[in-house]
Structure 1
Amino acid sequence: MSRFSVNAHRMLLSGAAAVLLLAQPVFAEDVSESSILKALTPAKTRSLSIGAPQPQVSPAEASFVDSVRNKNSRSLSTGERTRLQMVAETKPNIDLAMEFDYNSDVLKGKALETANALGKALTSPDLQGQTFMIAGHTDAKGGDELNQKLSERRAEAVKRFLVTTYQIPAANLISVGYGKQRLKNTSDPFAAENRRVQAVNMLQVKTAGR
């Protein structure tokens, strides 16, 4: 084979490798402590001449969030789950890959690493004292009821870990499960990125008077 042919062959292989790397799906956002902190920290309030001010919490939203603080995910009604999602839509959030064993809510391996990164971020000075929603999501495999209960168990497992390991007050963490209702990748319902835990900064500080 000529030197030109060898070089061309190498270039072809390199190009193919690059295409393969670019084609790899990104299942979730970076789960380092710093990336979680960045995603959940509200943007600084800016003047209208420069940009939009940071989102505010209405009295109605604050009252609703207070009403569900001490409920576990299993006791939330369908209406409360829906309203929580509506309140969370405009708030700082991040999707975190949480790979559990089949039908399990035990945190281990990568899921445990992610939970630790989340705990470190939530206890940082920039986020300490804020209220967070911990939402569990599954892929589309299995029935609605099974996935709903599984997502609730996993959200509760993450909350329990954050409370016991990082001493985050339970009232500052609202766990909720959405089963397979809110797929991240609707074109591939069974995709890994659908199996996730979403953390949302509800932009509300838990005060002693609440």
Structure 2
Amino acid sequence: MRKLGLSLLVTSMVMVPYAAFSQESAAPSADDYVCALTGDCGEEGQEAAASPATADGEPRISATRGFSLSAPTTTSNRPAPKQTTPTRQTRRQQTSSAQNRRANRPVQVAPGRADLRLAFGNGSAALSAAAEAQVRAFAEALKRPQLANVRVRIEGHTDSSGGRAINESLSQRRAQAVADYLMSQGIEANRLEVRGFGYARPLPGKRASDPDNRRVEAVRVS
């Protein structure tokens, strides 16, 4: 019993910091957005931006100054599991996995381009409470001296589920929802452009059908 109790204690001491680290790395700050749009990242941010990318295009160290953790690749002689129809629990796990991948993507997609890390409901352009918090952080970044006179384009993107016209409209509405919320936080309308690209611009190395393409990005235009 003593050994079991000690084991549980050690496990809890390890898991709590890991959970805190994961939550911290999944929520970009205003500093992270400033770093992505201006390159003014400080020493830690420069090290993160300089980190080499993995095979699927995701850096090992993200622009959020946190590590993108991945499981080590192992080989096995076991036969591949049989394909089965996804259950409701499997679909929930797949959705959770997609959300985790989004949270671990770097904020800086390219110089002057930031992934706002927003999640929307299926077919919805409504901002959740978590999404509003992220847009507020981005609004704070746009008020910083480094970005105070900068104009940005808010871009909405989707995957290819559904028709082209539906996705173009949905991506436009999601980008507009972000712009509207930025204006409610004191960002002038003349500093913002809004575009919806549907699934015409998937992430590098991703198929148009990949759920990771559901995103809103901010691009520095002046």
- Per the normalisation by structure 1, the TM-score is 0.57
- Cα-to-partner distance string for 1:9-45 (whole Å, 9 max, x where unaligned): x9xxxxxxxxxx9xxxxxx9862211111111156xx
Which structure's CA Rg is the greater one? 1
Q: Which residue of structure 2 lines up, in the alignment, with residue 169 of structure 1?
A: 188
Query: Could you tell me how far apart the structure 2 residues matched to 1:117 and 1:191 are?
Result: 27
Change (3 A) 1:129 1:166: farther
Partner of 2:115: 95
Q: Which residue of 1 aligns with 2:37?
A: 40
1:158 aligns with 2:185: no
Give the whole-Å Cα distance in 2 for the aligned partners of 1:166 and 1:187: 34
By relative contact order (CA 8 Å, sep 6+), the higher-ranking structure is 1
1:96 CA displacement: 2.2
TM-score (norm 2): 0.54
Q: Could you tell me which residue of structure 1 aligns to residue 94 of structure 2? A: none
Residues 1:181 and 1:136: Cα distance change in structure 2 (over 3 Å): same
Instruction: Determine if contact 1:97/1:193 at 8 Å carries over to the other structure.
Output: no
Q: Distance in 1 between matches of 2:162 and 2:139?
A: 30
Are the equivalent residues in 1 in contact too, given 2:113–2:219 (CA < 8 A)?
yes
* Count of residue correspondences: 147
Distance, in Å, in 1 between the alignment partners of 2:28 and 2:151 is: 20
- One-letter amino acid matched to 1:194: N
Aligned residues with identical type, % of pairs: 33
Measured in 2, the distance between the counterparts of 1:112 and 1:124 equals: 19
Report what 2:138 is aligned to: 118
Q: Secondary structure at the match of 2:151?
A: strand
Q: Specify the alignment match of 1:130 in structure 2.
A: 150
5+ residue gaps, structure 2, are 1-6, 8-17, 19-24, 41-108
Corresponding residue SS for 1:155: helix
Query: Structure 1: where are the runs of 5+ without partners?
Result: 1-9, 11-20, 22-27, 44-88, 205-210
TM-align CA RMSD:
3.7
Structure 1 segment 193-204 matched on structure 2, within 5 A:
193-202=212-221, 204=222
Q: How does 1:1-210 map to 2 (within 5 A)?
A: 31-42=28-39, 92-163=112-183, 165-184=184-203, 186-202=205-221, 204=222
Q: Which amino acid aligns with 1:112?
A: E
Distance 1:182 1:30, change over 3 A: farther
Deviations 1:74-117 (A, max 9, x none): xxxxxxxxxxxxxxx98511112221112211111322121111
Give the superposition deviation at 1:126: 1.1
